[in-house]
Structures are given as C-alpha cells and as structure tokens.
C-alpha cells in the first residue's frame, strides 16, 4: 500500500491525525505524488480525504493551495459532520475559548470560502464528541454538538467573537442568529 492509500485507509476508518502513522510519515517528495494528491482531493472531497488534505497542507503547501478552496472546505466540513470524534479540530471549553488543531486552522484559513460548507452544520445537533479523558469529559458535560463547532468557526471567519454558554438551549439561540445572518447575507 503506498503512502496516499495509507492516508486514505486511515481516514476511512476515522483514525485521528495524531494517531495515524501514515499521517506522521506522509511526504510528497515527487511532483507526481503532489499532482496525484491534488487531483484526488479536487475530484473526491469528503471525510475520507481529511488526513491526505492535512498532510498535503503540512508537507506541500504549494500543492495544497492548488486544491480548489471549495474542495478543501467540503473535505473539512464533511469530517466535522461524519468523524466519530472531533479531536482533529480541537475543542471548545466552558469559557467559550477554543483550542484549534490542524483541521480547525485549515478551516479558518479558508475564510469566507468555508462558509457554504459550514452553513448546513449549524443544523447538526448530533453530539460533537472528543476522545481523551479531559477533552471527552468537557465535551460530555457541556453537551457539545457539531453545530457548536460550526458556529464557533463561522463566527470567527465573519470577524465576530463567538458567544458560548454552557446551556445548549442558549447556544441554540446563537445558532439561530448565525443562520439568520448568513441567510440575510446570501440574498
């Protein structure tokens, strides 16, 4: 199995970047490897491409930049929607702060190009679980949802300080306000 296949295989089963030897060992030494990776990411954005996308971003920034922003955004948003745990994005805490890992930083770098991919996630009230004792406990106590992560990134992309409340019902109001804002801007 070659390096690209190993990255895709790990992502297919939801291996986190920090736990993936394929991610840590990924290199894009040849122009052919970089071209194959960018073609694959452009043609098939989705959660199974997350580790490939993040490895390309780290190892070959010029090739990463050649992947259309919409494909990068769709891959990141799909991982936020479908991964079993969201540690590759980081975490939110009870003070409304966030710690951003690679996937979150990549989303934020996209700026407004990420908005169309993130907007549907404002409606995703499925749990936003994290692995690890402290992070998992915080996510559970706060009842973090995938929509809370999307809201956090959207607010920051739009130049706002994200509001956060430990009560999910109050966070629902923040989600509704963001939906209204985005819908008004789309018109």
The string of pLDDT tens digits covering residues 18-29 is 999 999 999 999
The three-class DSSP label of residue 99 is: strand
> Which structural domain, as residue segments, surrounds residue 44?
1-67
Q: Are residues 129 and 169 in the same domain?
A: yes
- 35-48 CB burial, b ≥16 within 10 A, e <16: ebbbebbeeebbbb
Clarify whether residues 106 and 183 are in a common domain: yes
3-state secondary structure of 79: helix
Q: How many helices (H) and strands (E) does the chain have?
A: 11, 2
- Helix crossing, 31-43 with 3-12: angle to 10°? 30
Q: Cβ(115)–Cβ(151) under 8 Å?
A: no
pLDDT at 96: 63
> Which pLDDT value is given to residue 134?
87
Based on the fold, state whether residues 128 and 62 are members of the same structural domain.
Answer: no
Q: Is residue 178 part of a domain?
A: yes
Residue 23: inside a domain, yes or no? yes
Q: With respect to residue 78, please indicate whether it lies within any of the assigned structural domains.
A: no
Alpha-carbon distance of 141 to 94, in angstroms, equals 9
- What is the count of structural domains for the chain? 2
45-82 pLDDT per residue, tens: 999 999 999 999 999 999 999 999 999 999 999 999 99
Q: Does residue 90 sit in the same domain as residue 122? A: yes
Is residue 133 one of the residues assigned to a domain?
yes
């Amino acid at each position: 199995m070659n390096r690209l296949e190993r990255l895709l295989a790990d992502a297919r089963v939801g291996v986190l970047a920090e736990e993936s030897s394929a991610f840590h060992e990924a290199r894009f030494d040849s122009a052919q490897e970089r071209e194959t990776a960018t073609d694959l990411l452009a043609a098939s954005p989705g959660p199974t491409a997350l580790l490939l996308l993040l490895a390309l971003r780290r190892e070959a920034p010029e090739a990463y930049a050649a992947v259309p922003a919409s494909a990068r955004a769709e891959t990141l948003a799909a991982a936020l929607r479908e991964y079993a745990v969201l540690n590759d994005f980081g975490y939110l805490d009870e003070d409304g702060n966030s710690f951003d890992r690679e996937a979150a930083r990549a989303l934020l770098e996209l700026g407004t190009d990420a908005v169309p991919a993130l907007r549907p996630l404002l409606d995703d009230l499925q749990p936003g679980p994290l692995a690890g004792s402290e992070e998992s406990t915080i996510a559970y106590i706060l009842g973090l949802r995938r929509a809370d992560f999307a809201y956090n990134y959207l607010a920051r992309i739009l130049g706002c300080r994200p509001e956060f409340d430990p009560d999910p019902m109050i966070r629902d109001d923040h989600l509704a306000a963001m939906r209204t804002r985005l819908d008004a801007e789309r018109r």
